[in-house]
Amino acid sequence: MDYERDPARIFAQSMAELEAMEIFNDLPQELHAIARRMVHACGVPEIVPLIRWHGNPHAAARSAIAQGANILCDTEMVAHGVLRPPLEARAQEAGNSKAAQVLCLLNDPRSATLGKEQKITRSAAGVALWPPLLEGAVVAIGNAPTALFRLLEGLLEESWPRPAVIFGLPVGFIGATESKEALLQSAAQLSDLAFVTLVGRQGGSAIAAAAVNATSAEQ
């Protein structure tokens, strides 16, 4: 069969094709890498006009990753989509012996217990365990609207420690649109917090992981 087999050429051609589409012109330069990877992850260029952000999420995530921050993910899918070698490379460049750690507490036994006790999703219960890990962290939510809602409750109403940046990209039909709207509306109260989101139903674990990977990539 006739197809491009070489991984380096595939990646370079993908990025060149995305650039040639000229769909990123309305975004500030510092958002281009994130937007490019998000589109690459889902194959849908039409998400670009739906991207919203606050602060400089690329710089915030890159700096947190260089400092070996926690990368807190709502699902194992997101956690397994975050590439590890660039995390090590960015920490090493910055002279840190400890690279950023990717963490997901969804399968922590406490999440199952808490979820059943409170009749909440295991995703939200997993987020309720985040506070000791949250200071300066990179948050990547790619599945559950309830995870993003629970995080915002903690930040706005329970004085949780502040993460450095939120990739708030839950997906779906019940709560996804609303949870991302709540993130957008929290920008005034959480003015030192950078974030990226997509308005509407679209999102997902691959898009969330890709956004994180955009900020750790060699440049």
Asked whether position 28 contacts its own copies by CB under 8 A, the answer is no
Cα–Cα distance for residue pair 50/199, rounded to 1 Å: 5
Using rule CB under 8 A, residue 1 touches its own copies: yes
Beta bridge partners of 124: none
Q: Which region among 6-14, 53-61, 86-94, 126-134 touches its own copies (by CB under 8 A)?
A: 6-14
54 belongs to the catalytic site: no
Question: CB of 28: closest distance to its own copies in angstroms?
Answer: 23
182 lies in the binding site for its own copies (CB under 8 A): yes
Binding to its own copies by residue 217, rule CB under 8 A? no
- What's the rounded Cα separation, in Å, for the pair 29 and 32? 5
Query: Distance (Å, rounded) from C-alpha 169 to C-alpha 177?
Result: 10
Binding residues with its own copies: total (CB under 8 A):
52
Distance CA(34)–CA(37), nearest Å, equals 5
**CB neighbourhood size of 187 (10 A):** 15
Toward its own copies, which CB reaches closer, 6 or 192?
A: 6
Catalytic residue (choose from 32, 40, 54, 58)? 40
Catalytic positions are: 40
